[in-house]
Amino acid sequence: MKVTSLGFQTNLMFTRFSGEVIDRGSYVLAQTPSNPGYHWGNYIIFDRPPRKGDLAAWTGIFKQEFPYYRQPQHFTFAWEHSARVASDTQEFVEAGFEEDSALVLTAERLQRSLHPNSHLEVRKIVTDQQWREVIELQNLCAEPKFLNDYYQLFKERQMAQYRKMSEAGKGFWFGAYLNGRAVGDLGIFYEGETGRYQSVGTHPDFRRQGICGTLVYEAGSMILRDCGVRQLVMEADPDYHAARIYESVGFQRSEVNHSLSWWIR
């Protein structure tokens, strides 16, 4: 199965670094056994949207393909958009799955935010202390619906992966600082000429101060200038205001991908 979506292609970059991507013909399997709580490190991309009767079949495939789960703590299924094939997600939703859409945005050049924060200092994260600060910040920015008994361990392992990628020359994690305090962070990692943003966050007490737009612009500009990257990619909730912030610094809407997820609350 050929993955044509730029969003999924860049997602799989992280799986290849820490796990394995396997083509099964009618679906692509992403496995990260070192972090089993990572939903988007352990998932399946199918070659078509779901239809009636797929709940049992797809969850059965997941259980078979992820033998390192004694009992799955999550199921994550994705598919590329097809205007020709309608999806039928009703039985998944009735079984407690959450249906999501991800807006993929791209940019080859960036422009300064309309409301930049001139006091913000953007730094590459390097030291142990800085990595601890951004882990704490990521936890503060987490959506409450994801906070269960497994979240903290997942986040620590995920950030350890990003640190390894950074130290291997695959990209950087960036922190945004006001008066020495970490108030925002994100990662940008790359393969070839394509760079992918990860986990953009702003401290809840410092929102609506131009931090997000300034950080996205400054970090992306460094990557475009210094790393041989010609295209930047990021994902956003199409119904959330962050997408408008990204568009304000030069990102354009490219595609929409879809997924179904269930996890232990």
Domain boundary among 75, 103, 131: 103
Residue type (1 letter), 36: P
| Tokens encoding 98 | 């959450």
Same domain, 138 and 98: no
Same domain, 91 and 132: no
* 63 falls within a domain: yes
Same domain, 167 and 237: yes
Cβ neighbours for 64, distance < 8 A, ≥ 6 positions apart: none
Same domain, 79 and 129: no
Same domain, 208 and 136: yes
- Max CA-CA distance within the chain? 56
Quote the pTM value. 0.94
Cβ neighbours for 136, distance < 8 A, ≥ 6 positions apart: 182
* 265 falls within a domain: no
What's 66's DSSP letter? -
Same domain, 97 and 161: no
* 12 falls within a domain: yes
Beta strands in the chain (DSSP E): 20-23, 27-31, 43-46, 74-79, 98-107, 121-124, 171-178, 181-191, 194-202, 231-236, 252-263
Same domain, 133 and 164: yes
pLDDT of residue 150: 85
Cβ neighbours for 96, distance < 8 A, ≥ 6 positions apart: 262
* 263 falls within a domain: no
pLDDT of residue 173: 98
Same domain, 98 and 153: no
* 262 falls within a domain: no
pLDDT of residue 239: 79
Instruction: State the residue for tokens 């999501």.
Output: 100
CA 155 to CA 39: how far, in whole Å? Answer: 11
pLDDT of residue 240: 78
Residue by residue, DSSP assigns 136-200 as HHHHHHS-GGG-STTHHHHHHHHHHHHHHHHHTTSEEEEEEEETTEEEEEEEEEEETTEEEEEEE
Same domain, 186 and 149: yes
- Cα 53–Cα 57–Cα 61 angle in degrees, nearest 5: 160
* 172 falls within a domain: yes
* 109 falls within a domain: no
Q: What is the pLDDT along the chain (265 residues), one digit of tens a residue?
A: 999 999 999 999 999 999 999 999 999 999 999 999 999 999 999 999 999 999 999 999 999 999 999 889 999 999 987 655 678 999 999 999 999 999 999 999 999 988 999 999 999 999 999 999 999 999 999 988 888 888 999 999 999 999 999 999 999 999 999 999 999 999 999 999 999 999 999 999 999 999 999 999 999 999 999 999 999 999 998 877 889 999 999 999 999 999 999 999 8
Same domain, 87 and 163: no
Per the structure, the count of domains in the chain is: 2
pLDDT of residue 85: 62
Same domain, 147 and 250: yes
CATH code assigned at 241: 3.40.630.30
Same domain, 14 and 132: no
Report phi then psi at 106, rounded to 5: -135, 155
* 113 falls within a domain: no
Q: In which domain, by residue range, is 29 found?
A: 6-103
